[in-house]
Chains A and B, each alone.
Chain A
Amino acid sequence: SQQGEEDPQALSIQEGENATMNCSYKTSINNLQWYRQNSGRGLVHLILIRSNEREKHSGRLRVTLDTSKKSSSLLITASRAADTASYFCATDGKTSGSRLTFGEGTQLTVNP
């Protein structure tokens, strides 16, 4: 089964609002990554958070990691229409080396 599961599956908000997406996973990890995918395109790496980190920021992105709950969240602040995309979390299990397991994604729609 998938290591990561995103919640919600779909999210629709207005421009300027914040968007929060959650990811849960099952086994111990070295790190957790978030990726973005525009329709019909490849994935683009957004941010990586290591298992010994609790929070990380990059521009309008804020990622948290709670290893005790095996969960992570991605917050996009002051969203823009251009943020419309699917967002995936990906984890590497401690025994799987650099292989990543992807969740099924959250489809974010930001309405202008």
Chain B
Amino acid sequence: DGGITQSPKYLFRKEGQNVTLSCEQNLNHDAMYWYRQDPGQGLRLIYYSQIVNDFQKGDIAEGYSVSREKKESFPLTVTSAQKNPTAFYLCASHRTGWDQPQHFGDGTRLSIL
């Protein structure tokens, strides 16, 4: 079955540490997105990529970095510069086109130790 896989499901970060969240899709989608969700809140866009080797900042990119070396993979690194990283992180993808629904992974919950 095609879908989006996020790993790990739970992740703990120590002070001063960078951590990387994985997002892999086998849907052959060009566009991929990273969102942050805080308790009781909607989704805020961190980074997105419309094509391999290209990505753009979203609304809350500070303290995060991404890469898009392969079509199926869009890892997100939460750097030590992100002072409040505790949140639920969601990865999504969609086919090319402005009217395509986004498909989501099941998220990674990141907490501070």
**Chain A residues at the B interface, C-beta cutoff of 8 Å:** 2, 4, 30-31, 33, 35, 40-45, 48, 50, 88, 92, 97-105
Among B40, B97, B105, chain A packs the most CB atoms within 10 A around the CB of B40
Residues of A within 8 Å of B85, CB to CB, are none
Interface hit among B14-22, B42-50, B63-71, B75-83: B42-50
Instruction: Determine if B41 and A104 form an interchain contact, defined as CB atoms under 8 angstroms apart.
Output: yes
Set of chain A residues within 8 Å of B35, measured between Cβ atoms: 102
Cross-chain contact B99 with A88 (CB below 8 angstroms): no
Q: How far is the CA of A41 from the CA of B31 in the complex (A)?
A: 21
Q: Which of A2, A42, A104 contacts B105 (CB 8 A)?
A: A42
CA of A45 to CA of B103, assembled, Å: 7
- Complex Cα–Cα for A48 and B105 (A): 19
Decide yes or no: A30 and B43 within 8 Å by CB, A41-B107, A42-B104, A42-B106 being known contacts: no
Tell me whether A102 and B42 are in contact (CB under 8 A).
yes
B residues sitting closer than 8 Å to A (CB atoms) are: 4, 6, 31, 35, 40-45, 48, 50, 58, 88, 90, 92, 94, 97-107, 109
Interface of chain B, main secondary structure:
strand
Query: How far in angstroms is the closest Cβ of chain B from A11?
Result: 14
Establish whether residues A92 and B98, one from each chain, have CB atoms under 8 Å apart when the complex forms.
yes
- 12 further A-B pairs in the complex, CB-CB below 8 A; given A42-B106, A45-B102, A88-B43: A33-B101, A40-B88, A40-B109, A42-B90, A43-B104, A92-B98, A98-B50, A98-B97, A98-B98, A99-B45, A100-B45, A105-B42
Expressed in whole angstroms, the Cα–Cα distance for A103 and B35 within the complex equals: 13
Q: What's the Cα separation between A102 and B102 when bound, in Å?
A: 12
Cα A48 to Cα B97 in complex, Å, equals 13
A-side contacts of B101, CB under 8 Å: 33, 45, 48
Which residue of B4, B44, B98, B105 contacts A30 across the interface (Cβ within 8 Å)? Answer: B98
Most buried by A among B40, B43, B90, B97: B43
